[in-house]
Amino acid sequence: MAELAVQVAPDGVTVTVFEGLGELPFYDEDIDTPARVPASVTALRDAVADADAVLVITPEYNGSIPAMIKNAVDWLSRPFGDGAVKNKPLVVIGGSLGQYGGVWAHDEARKSFGIAGANVIDGIRLSVPFQSLAGKAPADSREISGHLRDIVGKLAAEVS
């Protein structure tokens, strides 16, 4: 879905996918110091700080957010009260193999990012139950492509 967001973004809106979440070490405040912060963390923080808004696309694992997403929240929330995500317009969407399309994970992610200081746009939502796609990719669905284009446009409008 992240690649689809890049493809369907409205004119004048650029979507950049951050590919390095898997490189982040688990959050540890002992290494979250200027002299020790890992380069992967700096790259994430810089990417979010440089973005006008953030679109988080997450699956759902066992009814909650994946550890990788929660770990990103932890790194982005620091320093406490002034992390890279502070006051950043942010939307959480995604999909899941479950019948609810990841709703629980999205709710958990919204909560965590809100606590971290993001300006979570709660009214913009998309939860895709992948079983409804009958084996097709989200990009093969005009409905999902259209919804995603609208979401990216609405998120961009939050910046203006």
Rounded to whole angstroms, how far apart are CA atoms 34 and 45? 13
DSSP 8-state class, residue 10: P
Rounded to whole angstroms, how far apart are CA atoms 2 and 106? 15
The encoded tokens of residue 52 equal 């006008």
Query: pLDDT tens digit string along 135-156?
Result: 899 999 999 999 999 999 999 9
Q: Where do the domains of the chain lie?
A: 1-125+143-158
Q: Which CATH topology does 1-125+143-158 take? A: Rossmann fold (3.40.50)
Please give the torsion angle defined by the CA atoms of residues 31, 109, 123 and 140, in that order, rounded to the nearest 10 degrees.
110
Q: Percentage of residues in the chain with pLDDT exceeding 90?
A: 89
Q: Is the pLDDT of residue 160 over 70?
A: no
- Assign 120 to helix, strand or coil: strand
Q: What is the 3-state secondary structure (H, E, C) of 22-87?
A: HHCCCCCCCCCCCCCCCHHHHHHHHHHHHCCCEEEEECCECCECCHHHHHHHHHHCCCCCCCCCCC
Mean pLDDT of the region 69-83? 96
